A = this chain, B = another copy of it.
Amino acid sequence: MTNDKTLRIGLIGTGFMARAHTNAYKRVGDFFPDLEWKPRLKAVCARTPEKVRAFADQWGYESVETDWRTLAARADIDAVDICAPNDTHAEIALAAIAAGKMVLCEKPLARTVAEGAPMVEAVEEAGVKNTVWYNYRRVPSVTLAKQVIDSGKLGQIFHYRANFLQDWTISPDLPQGGEALWRLDVNAAGSGVTGDLLAHCIDTAMWLNGGIADVSAVTETFIKERVHQETGKVQAVGIDDACIFHCHFDNGSLGVFEATRYARGQKAGYTFEINGQHASIRWDLHDQNRLGFFDHGDDSIVRGWRSIHVSDGDQPYIDRWWVPGLCLGYEHTFVHHMADFLKSLETGEPCSPTFREALETQKVCEAVLDSAASRSWKETGVNW
């Protein structure tokens, strides 16, 4: 680590997430100028030389690598950011940690608890800074929800419900596997909507409402076979196209979660609602600048769900941006995450969600898949 508080980033991957993270690195200093630490785009890594070169040129990385092992070993890298498919997370992370690097890992932590547990062990033993990019915690409206809950406004929680609905895999002509569609390939992804979408819902849920104790789930694979892009053959689809589960939280509230890629008309339909004794909250990613809030304490004749446009300077992160009424977007969540990460370098505090927290989310995912497979309730073993 240089002593000038430059965080030299080595990014692995050139896909969607690589763009989102890189954008965060480039913007965080403009909008959070008071942070001591500044990221620097030291190197990007991907297998295809032309592709990684093009990415580096477009985004301004100083160098390229085609072997992540080389990148992870480079002395001029402080932090490795893993934006490669899920099946690579563990191996890369372990190598980076072994080389003493900080690790920022795209979610989910790994394909399984068995893969993820050693990652947690390793970062904790090595004492390296780590975080997993569950970005939706840092939508300002979601962060506001956390503040409102922590303030006690909701009282005892009775219900938590969350959905993450998409519709992009309905066509049977869509192949599986390959660079763009590895999320449909169970080997690369580990699971389908559970690891991809429910993992987000579970991370938010436990952050807002505490640990999930046990689950009862069902999964479905609507389209049983798809051409695999790597083999060119029609192969069985191993992922879950859809998953529903209900659960008990440690605090006694009931939860219900659903994710699918077969909900026509839903693009990124991540929604949640939390019902407490005194107040309730609801949220929809499609309208991420808003938070729904119902306060039973309001004068009864004018009581109603409030649609809070989260764009005022006293709301989370907003003072860094524009003026009231103006919208932020998806990418801001990553900027906020990076700002908090850089801040954690100053304070020495962990940057949540850490690998350890992400492993708890993984446990719930795994219990969900186990429950669905065995048609029975499963304890999660989560310790939140």
Q: CB within 8 Å of B: which residues of A?
A: 16, 20, 22-23, 26-27, 29-30, 33, 57-60, 144, 147-148, 153-154, 158-159, 161, 163, 165-168, 170, 216-218, 220, 222, 242, 244-246, 248, 252, 254, 256, 258, 260, 262-269, 273, 275-280, 285-291, 293-296, 298, 300-309, 311-312, 314-315, 321-332, 375-377
Contact = CB atoms under 8 A, between A and B. Distances in A.
B242 A323 contact: no
21 contacts: A16-B322, A20-B322, A26-B30, A29-B58, A144-B301, A144-B302, A154-B264, A158-B263, A165-B275, A168-B324, A263-B275, A266-B280, A268-B325, A285-B327, A290-B304, A293-B302, A300-B314, A327-B330, A328-B329, A329-B332, A375-B376
A27 B22 CA distance: 11
B30 A327 contact: no
Given A23-B30, A30-B59, A304-B306, 5 more contacts: A22-B30, A216-B218, A285-B325, A304-B307, A305-B306
A29 B273 CA distance: 39
A15 to B, nearest CB: 11
A197 B136 CA distance: 33
B308 A280 contact: no
A302 B295 CA distance: 10
A371 to B, nearest CB: 9
Contact of A246 (B60, B246, B330): B246
A265 B305 contact: yes
Contact of A307 (B147, B280, B305, B376): B305
A238 to B, nearest CB: 18
Contacts of A293: 302, 304
Given A293-B302, A304-B306, A324 B30 contact: no
A266 B305 CA distance: 9
Contacts of A33: 57-58
Contacts of A166: 325
Contact of A265 (B153, B280, B323): B280
Q: Which of A27, A161, A168 has the most CB of B within 10 A?
A: A161
A284 to B, nearest CB: 10
Contact of A301 (B245, B314, B321): B314
Contacts of A22: 30
Contact of A329 (B144, B167, B329): B329
Nearest to A313: B300
A170 B280 CA distance: 13
- A-B pairs, 4 with minimum CB distance: A268-B325, A267-B325, A265-B294, A304-B308
B158 A326 contact: no
Contacts of A290: 287, 304
A232 B334 CA distance: 44
B309 A260 contact: no
B265 A296 contact: yes
B314 A308 contact: no
A305 B290 CA distance: 11
Contacts of A167: 275, 296
Contacts of A324: 168, 267-268
B327 A327 contact: yes
B306 A262 contact: no
A304 B147 CA distance: 16
Contact of A254 (B59, B220, B269): B220
A91 to B, nearest CB: 27
A165 B158 CA distance: 12
